[in-house]
Amino acid sequence: MSVYQRMGKLVRPHWPVLALAVACMLVVAGATAGLAWMVKPLLDDIFFKALQEPERARKMMIYLPLAFLALQVVKGGAIYTQTVLMVKVGQRIVAQLREAIYEHLQDLSLSFYDHTRTGLLISRMTNDVSLIQESVSSALAGAFRDLFSIAALVVLVFYREWRLAIIASIVFPLAMIPFIKFGQWTRRISTRTQQAVAEMANQLEETITGARVVKAFTAEEQEISRFTEVSRRILALTLKEEKVRALSSPFMESLGAVAIAFIIGYGGYRVIAGQSSPGTFFSFMTALILLYDPLKKLARSQTILQRGVAAAVRVFELLDTPPQIMDRPGAGELAPLKKTIEFKAVHFSYGREEVLKGIDLKIKAGQIVAIAGRSGGGKTTLVNLLPRFYELEKGEILIDGKDIREVTLKSLRQQIGLVTQQTILFDDTIRANIAYGRPRATTREIEAAASAAYAHDFILELPQGYETMIGEQGVRLSGGQRQRLAIARALLKDAPILILDEATSSLDTESEYYVQKAIDNLMVGRTTLVIAHRLSTIYSADRIVVLAGGMIAEEGRHEELMSLQGEYHKLYEMQFNSD
């Protein structure tokens, strides 16, 4: 399907409103031509016949101004109605696109977010969507109205003076050539401008969220020069675009003037020779002059339309990005874990190099399995495969013998609680953040989860307790407090499988103490996969799995692994010794 067909598909459901708008446009076109038509009786019947037929002239003097007024009022009303209707259609399409994009973003897999920049997505959602709206509701509507007006006026022009009209109709099509060229020209420039604007938005987003890093590396100047480069590029492109646009109307006007000069000469000759009346000539001229405005607007709406089409191409491209991880047709519900989680010959790569090269791992329900290994060894990758954040390449993961790709994502992910090193809290109340996975949880349940997570006491000390806002406008929490809220959230979700990915790694010893106690509460009765830098967590695990070179190098309990004097022993010497 082409972009135009797809835009058409967006517009089609609104056809009743559009039909009404088109009717208004026809009224506008008719009224415009009517105004030009009236010039002939005005001149011939009032001014030139005032002496020969004073009676008739006097009558016309009453009717014509009234008719003029009536036409103008009807035209105004029709323009108003049509504008409102078209804005309605345009804005509905905007809302529809916005919601479709957001829904699609929720479906897209994590791997999509790994290689897509935030600024770019925000620009699709805001900039591009409003460009499409502009092109539908102002440009497209205007273009139709202008086309109808042009048609009505052209009919009048031929009716009044077909000889002159032929001259005009040779010159005006010639003016269409530069008009089309100008359109292509601005379209090319505007595509480049949009890219530069998206780039700028992205840098802005990056350096605002990463302000701390920028300062820490004293990279301000580097960022400023990067920003200045894009900003100057946008400036140059915008100036160029505006120049082309500014050039287009004087250029077209000059072409028009050539035609008008011809017409005045020839038309004047015909009136003097008695072959035409002054009223006919001026009615013709009025129609011709009235033609200029819709023609000019048509040229302008052409560029807006082009911009809208370019934006639509980008938006559709995003909407067409397939979510890589979806429910298979006929996927069933996953029953709560009873017996085992099994990784069978699991291979995985993010791109070229394999991160996991054949992992076999069987975890019994209720067990705590610790995963150890060097940084970058694939620990996070391994645990991320279980909730299907990424899709494995070869092998399979089975829960109670059922392949996780054969069950719904929802039923799978509902069984997994996840606490990672970076806690994401939303700009909402403490209560809403804890209840994120279960919005209908009761106050008692929320408080019980907070207590078990060692968070209840500090929450009560906050200005509005559980109703305190977190985030930009709210309180600032320490790393340990944030982590305990994340644990409370996981407790409330009460999933049978738990993944802890370095949940305490970024904390100082004191906050780590409470977080660790909270984690101990969280692990009770759950099957846990834990990645930890802390010795005590590893100690208490039923089994330790050591990842090296994308494979399981060693596995066993702490003492067994120590006595092997292998990879685990080395890790222990490097990391845990400092505990």
Question: Binding partner of residue 330 among Mg ion, ligand ADP, none, CB under 5 to 8 Å per kind?
Answer: none
- Residues 127 and 292 sit within 8 Å (Cβ to Cβ): no
Q: 208 pairs with which residues across the strands?
A: none
135 alpha carbon, distance to own chain's centre: 17
Smallest separation, CB 394 to ligand ADP (Å): 17
- Compute and round to an integer the Cα radius of gyration of the chain: 36
Kindly tell me which residue out of 355, 386, 507, 532 binds ligand ADP, with binding defined by CB under 6 A: 355
Q: Does 350 bind ligand ADP (CB under 6 A)?
A: yes
d(CA 297, CA 306): 14
Q: With CB under 5 A as the contact rule, which of the stretches 105-113, 286-294, 303-311, 376-384 interacts with Mg ion?
A: 376-384
By beta-carbon proximity to ligand ADP, the closer residue of 349 and 521 is: 349
By beta-carbon proximity to Mg ion, the closer residue of 380 and 528 is: 380
By beta-carbon proximity to Mg ion, the closer residue of 355 and 553 is: 355
Smallest separation, CB 444 to ligand ADP (Å): 37
Question: Binding partner of residue 355 among ligand ADP, Mg ion, none, CB under 5 to 8 Å per kind?
Answer: ligand ADP
Smallest separation, CB 118 to ligand ADP (Å): 15
99 alpha carbon, distance to own chain's centre: 9
> CB neighbours (10 Å) of residue 287?
27
By beta-carbon proximity to ligand ADP, the closer residue of 375 and 565 is: 375
Q: Does 380 bind Mg ion (CB under 5 A)?
A: yes
CA dihedral (400, 401, 404, 409) positive or negative: negative
Q: Does 373 bind ligand ADP (CB under 6 A)?
A: yes
**If you ran DSSP here, which 8-state letter would residue 325 be given?**
S
Q: 347 pairs with which residues across the strands?
A: 357, 394
Smallest separation, CB 419 to Mg ion (Å): 13
**If you ran DSSP here, which 8-state letter would residue 328 be given?**
P
CA dihedral (407, 435, 423, 575) positive or negative: negative
Q: Does 2 bind ligand ADP (CB under 6 A)?
A: no
Question: Binding partner of residue 329 among ligand ADP, Mg ion, none, CB under 5 to 8 Å per kind?
Answer: none
d(CA 418, CA 430): 18
By beta-carbon proximity to ligand ADP, the closer residue of 112 and 284 is: 112
Q: Does 280 bind Mg ion (CB under 5 A)?
A: no
The residue behind tokens 């006026």 is: 153
**Angle of CA points 460, 461, 466, to nearest 5°:** 40
**If you ran DSSP here, which 8-state letter would residue 334 be given?**
P
d(CA 331, CA 494): 23
By beta-carbon proximity to ligand ADP, the closer residue of 114 and 220 is: 114
And the tokens for 28?
């506008």
Q: With CB under 6 A as the contact rule, which of the stretches 34-42, 153-161, 298-306, 376-384 interacts with ligand ADP?
A: 376-384
Kindly tell me which residue out of 301, 380, 415, 423 binds ligand ADP, with binding defined by CB under 6 A: 380
Smallest separation, CB 463 to Mg ion (Å): 35
Total residues at interface with ligand ADP (CB under 6 A): 11
Range 491-550, binding ligand ADP (CB under 6 A): none
Q: Which position's Cβ is nearest Mg ion? A: 380
By beta-carbon proximity to Mg ion, the closer residue of 241 and 512 is: 512
Kindly tell me which residue out of 256, 279, 377, 480 binds ligand ADP, with binding defined by CB under 6 A: 377
Smallest separation, CB 213 to ligand ADP (Å): 18
Smallest separation, CB 352 to ligand ADP (Å): 10
Range 83-122, binding ligand ADP (CB under 6 A): 114
Smallest separation, CB 102 to ligand ADP (Å): 23
Which amino acid makes up residue 283? S
Kindly tell me which residue out of 90, 142, 279, 378 binds ligand ADP, with binding defined by CB under 6 A: 378
Burial zone of 374 (CB within 10 Å; 0-12 exposed, 13-18 middle, 19+ buried): middle
Helices (H), 161-219: 162-209, 211-216
- Name the residue among 78, 71, 61 with its Cα closest to residue 34: 71
Q: With CB under 6 A as the contact rule, which of the stretches 126-134, 309-317, 368-376, 457-465 interacts with ligand ADP?
A: 368-376
The residue behind tokens 């060692």 is: 454
Range 290-309, binding ligand ADP (CB under 6 A): none
And the tokens for 337?
């874990």
SS3 at position 321: coil
Total residues at interface with Mg ion (CB under 5 A): 1
Question: Binding partner of residue 439 among ligand ADP, Mg ion, none, CB under 5 to 8 Å per kind?
Answer: none
SS3 at position 340: strand
SS3 at position 545: strand
430: Cβ contacts below 8 Å, ≥ 6 apart: 459, 462, 465, 466, 467, 468, 470, 485
Question: Binding partner of residue 350 among ligand ADP, Mg ion, none, CB under 5 to 8 Å per kind?
Answer: ligand ADP
Q: With CB under 5 A as the contact rule, which of the stretches 210-218, 373-381, 384-392, 469-477 interacts with Mg ion?
A: 373-381
d(CA 14, CA 159): 36
By beta-carbon proximity to Mg ion, the closer residue of 270 and 374 is: 374
By beta-carbon proximity to ligand ADP, the closer residue of 157 and 356 is: 356
d(CA 432, CA 428): 6
Interface positions with ligand ADP (CB under 6 A): 114, 350, 355, 373, 375-381
Contact residues toward Mg ion (CB under 5 A) are: 380
